[in-house]
Amino acid sequence: KGYFHAPFPRLMLRYEDILFHTEEVVAQVCECAGGVMNNEFEYVHGAPHVGPLGTEKNGFVQAVIKYGKFDSRLEGLSEADIDFAIKTLE
């Protein structure tokens, strides 16, 4: 995973944290970058849009339903990914 040992500054965020703890994560990202989050945080609940190559994107509610399921939380992760997470993350 070249991005993990990249020679430049980077910020790694879990999608689940952004989805379920949005305001807290955005405030921490702003602070990390030397800024301050304004008090006008607003969730955008618009309809899903079509992304590049015609792929449909999830809206907020669809993302919560898809990624909020305990049974599918490891879906798409390899055994190496899970081992890394266990060893590295709290």
Q: What is the pTM of this model?
A: 0.54
- Residue 80 pLDDT greater than 70, yes or no: yes
How far apart are alpha carbons 34 and 2 in whole angstroms?
A: 26
How far apart are alpha carbons 85 and 30 in whole angstroms?
A: 25
| Residue 67 near residue 16 (C-beta atoms within 8 A) | yes
- Residue 89 pLDDT greater than 70, yes or no: yes
| Max CA distance (Å), the chain | 41
How far apart are alpha carbons 23 and 37 in whole angstroms?
A: 9
Per residue in 15-65, pLDDT (tens digit) is 888 888 888 999 999 999 999 888 787 777 666 566 666 566 667 767 777
Kindly state the average pLDDT of the residues 57-86: 77
pLDDT of residue 39: 79
Of 48, 46, 41, nearest to 18 by C-alpha is: 41
